[in-house]
Structure 1
Amino acid sequence: MGITQSDDKMEGWLYTIRSNRFGLQFSRKRYFTLQNNVLKSYKTIPTSEKEEPDRSAIIDSYIRVTDNGRESIHKKVFFIFTLYNTSNHNYQLKLGASSSEEAATWIHSLQDAALKKSSGNTSNIVDPPKKMWSSLRLSSIKRTRGNSMDWNFSPSLHTEAMTSDVIAPSPWKIFGCQNGLRFFKEVNDWDSHGRNGDEAIMAVGMVAGTSEAIFHTVMALGPSRSEWDFCCYRGSVVEHLDDHTDIVHQLLCSDWLSWGMGRRDLLIQRYWRREDDGTYVILYHSVIHKKCPPQSGYVRACLKSGGYVITPVNGGNKSLVKHMLAIDWKHWRLYLCPSAARSITTRMLEKVAALRELFKTKQGNCLSESYGEFEREMELAQMKKEGTQTKAQEPEEISNTDKDTLIVEEVEKQTSGRASLMDVNDTSDEFFDVPETSDSTDYDCLENESSPGLPSLNRQQPELPSAAGLVKNLQELATQKKGYMELPEVTREEENITTYSYGTTLQKDPACNVPCSWATGDPSVFLIRGENYLKDHHKINAKSTLMQMVGADWLRSGKRENDFGSRPDSIVQKYAAWGRPEFFFIVNIQIPGTTMYTIAVYYMLKTPLEEHLLLHKFVNGDDAYRNSRFKLIPYISTGSWIVKQCVGKKACLIGQALECHYYRGTNYLEIEIDVGSSTLARGVMNFVLGYFNNLVIEMAFLIQGNTQEELPESLLGTCRLNHLDVTKSVLATP
């Protein structure tokens, strides 16, 4: 639809995504403007700035924006993002864009607006109009700002996110060049070479097309795929798990395989995301799914890991495409001759050259055809899913007439008997169908059709799958990768009944030779803002940390565990009981699921807190200030390529991406990071959790410096978690 963006204003067409009283979603096209931290909505393009908007909302530091991925609503694909208020999650606004590029631009602009609107800087903010969104009543929330701190925002946030913030040796070594592509093999210390010759191989080439067009071409499984993918005979989406993940079945052609090999097929889980710089990441790995058992006449190959990284270059007109595969072809002859397996995998990677030639002949204009196929595939997958669920709910012996009567009776019964918002969103209402109204109809009309006894608040359909549902799906999809285990089938070691102190459940091992241990990471591998960063945007290697890491926990529980610093049996309270002056900083990472896992790392400051001005300001600031400054740099130093791509190596303002809670004690500050507050982060963490015992995870924490007085930055602390094993997690005591 197109958007217009200037230094102080952004405007364009978006779709509001709402739910009626039955929980069914519908969309309405509206024209949005974002200026001076005020988001306004119009039914038509405004003719002047004085025109009264249809709806408006203030975008301040309490607003978060989450990327919900793609979703099909009434046969139209949207790229969804949601605005919500951290003070009350009932106040939220769900919007959809026509393309991922438009969605990303809006997300960045809204995040920038939320950061610029500091708690102490309101002089340039215009008063919002009286008519506010009922689903995003931001101005009606009372906030206490007595302890607020002044801070400034540097516009380099998203530029910074485009580059890696970790200096690490490349695990790839070139071994050949063919058909204009460079071929690399993975060589590192984590045993990327499988015993069956299924080593990781990557092809790299330049394609004359935008990253978005290439992304849609690669994702499409329809007839257009036959124009470049000579390996795939037919593909289909088996199940749509969430907005970033689905299950795909591919039947492979046999004419390009080695002589004597039978036909092969693949059943893979496909995950995708878009980076801030326009890079698309698509990841694959093999799974088992009850809806797609092994096919007669085909041998199912095992894709250990694979995918694409599509990075825009030259202003976005061209893209660097990396295609990686580590695959076991399930053929006895290849086990005896690993070079033959590499030859077949290399042949499959030559699809990148075919993709390059396709865009060359069409002069980069491949988006419309592949995008249409992408929409139809999503729609078909969702129809299959809804049809299966509807069939399971309705008795087979009921006739069509009886079904209609039953639906009417059920609606009347449920509407008259329910008065709460949660009851209206009950899952039994999900599968009613309603005709789509025209765009000219006001989207408030459907809400007004509800009975007088029901509240007129926003009725939002529950997001599916939930954290527990996603974990259940992943547990049912038993992967065929080395090192992956299903959590329900894990036999835990006998519980250690002896008591322990919080901060001591993981043992320290500086050499990182003992599984389930911790050590301090090397600060020099992490990049931080230098003294002249505001002028040259140059980052430097960190030299040391302000704090000393003194302990770590690896816990599991049936509920969320927080505020470890206040517990009498924690190392924090033991130091306090001894009258020691040290100050503690705790990072508590909550991993959601049927079983809640917790990673907690403890840091100790030996010098007085007042000597470190930025840290003192952070510890005593309000939550809005803390969320705008606390930064995490992740790094998988040992692990598979697919996990490294999932996690990345880029600094993140964690309070802007995930929900954080802060607990301030006399001698400590604890930050609780809720991974489950983001659909995307929850899916990544639940995927990575199955690989934990094969990973060495490193993290660095710091407070972002935005002014010259706050530079250069300093790392608060680093940590290295070695081969965490879910079977050795400690049961948290009440």
Structure 2
Amino acid sequence: MASPGSKKLVAADGSDEKLSGNLGRDSDSGSSSRSSGVEGGTFEYFGWVYHLGANKIGHEYCHLRFLFIRGKYVEMYKRDPHENPDIKPIRRGVIGPTMMVEEMGRRKVNQRDVYVIRFYNRLDETRKGEIACPTAGEALKWVEAFDEAKQQAEYALSRGGSARTKLNMEANIDLEGHRPRVRRYAFGLKKLIRIGQGPETLLRQSSTLVNDARGDGFYEGGDNGDAIEAHEWKCVRTINGVRIFEDVANFKAGRGVLVKAVAVAEASADAVFEVISKLDKRQRYEWDTVTGDSELIDSYEGHYDVVYCVYDPKYLSRWQSKRDFVFSRQWVRGQDGTYTILQFPAVHKKRPPKSGYRRTNITPSTWEIRNLKKRTDAEPPSCLVTHMLEIHSKRWFKWKRTSYSKFEKTIPYALLLQVAGLKEYIGANPAFKYETSATVVESKLSDVPNGVSDVPNGEYVDEEMEEQFYDATDSSSDEEESDEDDDEEDKKEIKVKLKNVSWAIASLSLKRPKAPGASNVLDASVDPVNIDPSQFQGSLRKGNGDKDSNCWNSPSGMGFMIRGKTYLKDNAKVMGGEPLLTLISVDWLKVDKAVDNIGLHPKCLVQSEPGKKLPFILVISLQVPSKPNYCLVLYYAADRPVSESSSLGKFVNGSDSYRDARFKLIPSIVQGYWMVKRAVGTKACLLGKAVTCRYLRKDNFLEIDVDIGSSAVARSVIGLVLGYVTSLIVDLAILIEGKEETDLPEYVLGTVRLNRIELDSAVSFEV
């Protein structure tokens, strides 16, 4: 049987070469190079997955199927075709530009937790289907594999000829239905059994402790993101190899202190996440002193669940009665593979307080699990585990100074020591240490001959797209390190203990530099026009400072770290400069449903007389799912036309897939509840890979409609943000990711600061 997630590269002469370790990675030098097979062969990815769906009579099923990706084609088998060379695929199709792939998170299927991937056609969402994997890490690798297949399809289209001829297939792969009503057992696997009249279930052989989830080793360590944060962490104690830190920059008397426990675990982030998220008490008893007997009460959208726990705290406190508590867990995975888990105290109607138990509210906390970069492929995977919480008790300070023993019998202290228990548990299990590296899908548009990235969008439109495998993944895989950690060293440290970092930087009397790398973006041969912001009035007013509320401002880009000139060689990032485009107006709208193409509305700023005189306007519409729905529209203007040969010119006039692969946003919660800060993070995000983006290029403007509701993870995070939005100051920076040396250094395209936005102030918008 082929192992799940195997990859190989089929050469042009028909021979095949098994790839081990990181795809395209030089094991001697540690450098990475593109070897996806676009030029000399065909990329392949194959392995066992669960196929989820319902048959014609409405019964749900969960079948074990062998999925095989060959180039841009995808096939599904009942048996491994390597062991059964004469077997025919039961489903077959081709990946096209309008196919979308979305990670749906964790779901319980037939008493087993699996991680679901949904496929759908963004032009026709009724055409959809689902597969699932046993771990989150495997699900991520399959998504990356589909991205690579999408890259192959785009390259095939770029070489000329008829798209109809290239993508015509004899059958469309249909994951939604199941043809036969008779259920069959997979050959030689003993995986499927019948449970009464209900759906089939999989009794897969017990996997290792890591469930074959493997780290890729491409990610950097450290806590730094792409936005500068005003934290000053001081190590106050080391216990069993775990460092205990206190945030001394943001402490306020009477409001508690933010602390965290940090340790290195000898396993991949995928494996550690699986250990933390599992509620099996036998495994939990080996490392967790807080959560004992646990039960999953409810689960929502795959990334949010509610857990009930019972434990006997005699060894923790003076209370003799048993205690229980209910808490919610919300988890997200960044594009760099970093996991963030948010844990809040919760109330649920299924578990009211009961006699004989003292109901306790668990302390809010967050987990962050980040892969560390490996020096060689032979080195075992490791990750940095951080557990953060806010402690309000004065016992913290007594313990910090004198090892106050009573604090060591509290739940907050036990939560901090969860990291130590996790570290020791993983170290005691060889399955984690000898975990092998998984292959990593890596593809760079810049390496493709004849410039796939420059193919006009119109070449992807063809009637034959109707016959594709959901026309998937409109986001190119590109390079995996799209938002890796900022590992720039030897930067001068500005020690200013102010909560508002951007204001702190501006107050240092530093000259705000011009955006690096932006000198040739606008056409220098044309005289600039005068941009008068007073001519453009949006529904959200411009503020008079950070103390103002329900308003916007445009801060400097100095609060963000962007790719420098030598980034492709040393991953060095530099401080951003002044934004290239001017933010002239912001609309805060309330809508019944998501609205696209706002720039075409007669009352839109773009259609006004002053707007038509501007050389170029970038319109970004952030569609916020809620009840009601909201829409935040940002208008950025250029005082000269955009140079077509620049990175911005290629973005404005390029294909949708090119834009998806380069449209980057860096968020930063400047002021607000620390849990919201951890949920949002400070890492750059390629929006086209995270959510659905639609583009409209007309006249003198480009509009980008960002559908935040298209992703379950994004919906979950935005729901948390909206709950605290009236107390938040949020900075956003938009830029075009530099993937080639000619596009570096990056420059900040535009910024916006949103000061304590009030939901009720949104203006109703009618189409």
Tell me the SS of whatever aligns to 1:103.
helix
Which residue of 2 is the match for residue 713 of structure 1? 746
Which residue of 1 is the match for residue 47 of structure 2? 12
User: Deviating runs (4+, > 6 A) in structure 1?
Assistant: 48-51, 123-126, 160-163, 333-342
Q: How many angstroms apart in 2 are the aligned matches of 1:305 and 1:194?
A: 19
Instruction: List per-residue Cα deviations over 1:624-671 (Å, max 9, x = no partner).
Output: 333233222222222333222322222222123211222334332221
Which residue of 1 is the match for residue 128 of structure 2? 92
Tell me the SS of whatever aligns to 2:158.
coil
Selected match of 1:281 from 340, 344, 349: 340
| Residue 52 of structure 1: how far off its partner (Å) | 5.1
Equivalent residue letter for 1:361: A
- Alignment of 1:131 onto 2:171: yes
| Residue 675 of structure 1: how far off its partner (Å) | 0.9
Q: How many angstroms apart in 1 are the aligned matches of 2:365 and 2:537?
A: 37
Which residue of 2 is the match for residue 520 of structure 1? 554
Equivalent residue letter for 1:556: K
Selected match of 1:361 from 411, 421, 428: 428
- Alignment of 1:247 onto 2:306: yes
Change over 3 Å in CA distance of 1:193–1:728 after alignment to 2: farther
Q: How many angstroms apart in 2 are the aligned matches of 1:715 and 1:538?
A: 16
| Residue 103 of structure 1: how far off its partner (Å) | 1.3
Q: How many angstroms apart in 2 are the aligned matches of 1:98 and 1:322?
A: 24
Does the 8 Å CA contact 1:279/1:312 hold for their aligned counterparts? Answer: yes
Instruction: List per-residue Cα deviations over 1:475-497 (Å, max 9, x = no partner).
Output: xxxxxxxxxxxxxxxxxxxxxxx
Does the 8 Å CA contact 2:74/2:94 hold for their aligned counterparts? Answer: yes
Does the 8 Å CA contact 2:246/2:259 hold for their aligned counterparts? Answer: yes
Does the 8 Å CA contact 1:503/1:602 hold for their aligned counterparts? Answer: no
Q: How many angstroms apart in 1 are the aligned matches of 2:234 and 2:85?
A: 57
| Residue 550 of structure 1: how far off its partner (Å) | 1.2
Q: How many angstroms apart in 1 are the aligned matches of 2:253 and 2:105?
A: 34
Does the 8 Å CA contact 1:64/1:657 hold for their aligned counterparts? Answer: no
Which residue of 1 is the match for residue 158 of structure 2? 121
Aligned length: 580
List runs of 5+ in structure 1 lacking aligned partners.
138-156, 369-456, 460-499
Which residue of 1 is the match for residue 598 of structure 2? 564
Q: How many angstroms apart in 2 are the aligned matches of 1:367 and 1:690?
A: 43
CA RMSD for the aligned pairs? Answer: 3.7
Change over 3 Å in CA distance of 1:574–1:338 after alignment to 2: farther
Q: How many angstroms apart in 2 are the aligned matches of 1:654 and 1:70?
A: 22
Does the 8 Å CA contact 2:366/2:678 hold for their aligned counterparts? Answer: no
Equivalent runs, 1:312-711 vs 2, <5 Å? 312-313=371-372, 314=374, 317-326=381-390, 344=410, 345-364=412-431, 504-509=538-543, 511-576=545-610, 580-610=613-643, 613-711=646-744
Q: How many angstroms apart in 2 are the aligned matches of 1:123 and 1:202?
A: 56
| Residue 136 of structure 1: how far off its partner (Å) | 8.4
Change over 3 Å in CA distance of 1:264–1:510 after alignment to 2: farther
Does the 8 Å CA contact 1:660/1:672 hold for their aligned counterparts? Answer: yes
Which residue of 1 is the match for residue 237 of structure 2? 176
Instruction: List per-residue Cα deviations over 1:547-583 (Å, max 9, x = no partner).
Output: 0011212222333344333334333333447x62342
Of all paired residues, the percent bearing the same amino acid is 29
Equivalent residue letter for 1:202: K
Equivalent residue letter for 1:351: Q
Does the 8 Å CA contact 1:232/1:253 hold for their aligned counterparts? Answer: no
Does the 8 Å CA contact 1:207/1:320 hold for their aligned counterparts? Answer: yes
Q: How many angstroms apart in 2 are the aligned matches of 1:667 and 1:300?
A: 61
Which residue of 1 is the match for residue 328 of structure 2? 269
Residue range with higher mean Cα deviation, 114-123 or 176-185: 114-123
Equivalent residue letter for 1:249: Y
Q: How many angstroms apart in 2 are the aligned matches of 1:112 and 1:503?
A: 44
Q: How many angstroms apart in 1 are the aligned matches of 2:248 and 2:59?
A: 50
Q: How many angstroms apart in 1 are the aligned matches of 2:120 and 2:545?
A: 44
Selected match of 1:235 from 287, 294, 297: 294
| Residue 365 of structure 1: how far off its partner (Å) | 5.6
Change over 3 Å in CA distance of 1:337–1:690 after alignment to 2: farther
Equivalent residue letter for 2:594: R
Change over 3 Å in CA distance of 1:673–1:227 after alignment to 2: same
Selected match of 2:349 from 269, 281, 290: 290
Residue range with higher mean Cα deviation, 525-534 or 663-672: 525-534
Selected match of 1:214 from 236, 261, 272: 272
Selected match of 2:65 from 24, 30, 36: 30
Instruction: List per-residue Cα deviations over 1:283-310 (Å, max 9, x = no partner).
Output: 1012222222234454544446312222
Does the 8 Å CA contact 2:339/2:369 hold for their aligned counterparts? Answer: yes
Q: How many angstroms apart in 1 are the aligned matches of 2:357 and 2:757?
A: 37
- TM-score w.r.t. structure 1 length? 0.71
Equivalent residue letter for 2:261: A
Which residue of 2 is the match for residue 2 of structure 1? 4
Does the 8 Å CA contact 1:508/1:517 hold for their aligned counterparts? Answer: yes
- Alignment of 1:101 onto 2:137: yes
| Residue 617 of structure 1: how far off its partner (Å) | 3.2
Q: How many angstroms apart in 1 are the aligned matches of 2:301 and 2:553?
A: 36
Does the 8 Å CA contact 1:57/1:128 hold for their aligned counterparts? Answer: no
Q: How many angstroms apart in 2 are the aligned matches of 1:663 and 1:32?
A: 36
Tell me the SS of whatever aligns to 1:33.
strand
- Alignment of 1:69 onto 2:71: no
Equivalent residue letter for 2:243: R
Which residue of 2 is the match for residue 203 of structure 1? 261
- TM-score w.r.t. structure 2 length? 0.68
Equivalent residue letter for 2:53: R
Does the 8 Å CA contact 2:590/2:630 hold for their aligned counterparts? Answer: yes
Tell me the SS of whatever aligns to 1:227.
coil
Q: How many angstroms apart in 1 are the aligned matches of 2:469 and 2:56?
A: 9
Does the 8 Å CA contact 2:694/2:706 hold for their aligned counterparts? Answer: yes
List runs of 5+ in structure 2 lacking aligned partners.
9-35, 37-42, 178-215, 436-467, 471-533
Q: How many angstroms apart in 1 are the aligned matches of 2:302 and 2:358?
A: 30
Q: How many angstroms apart in 2 are the aligned matches of 1:279 and 1:652?
A: 12
Instruction: List per-residue Cα deviations over 1:400-420 (Å, max 9, x = no partner).
Output: xxxxxxxxxxxxxxxxxxxxx
Equivalent residue letter for 2:423: R
Selected match of 1:41 from 55, 76, 82: 76
Which residue of 2 is the match for residue 165 of structure 1? 226
Q: How many angstroms apart in 1 are the aligned matches of 2:114 and 2:395?
A: 44
Instruction: List per-residue Cα deviations over 1:604-632 (Å, max 9, x = no partner).
Output: 11111346633333333343333233222
Q: How many angstroms apart in 2 are the aligned matches of 1:161 and 1:633?
A: 18
Change over 3 Å in CA distance of 1:328–1:136 after alignment to 2: same
Instruction: List per-residue Cα deviations over 1:97-152 (Å, max 9, x = no partner).
Output: 22222211111121233245337524699766523213589xxxxxxxxxxxxxxx
Q: How many angstroms apart in 2 are the aligned matches of 1:116 and 1:646?
A: 34
Selected match of 1:82 from 110, 115, 118: 118
Q: Greater share of helix residues, 1 or 2?
A: 1
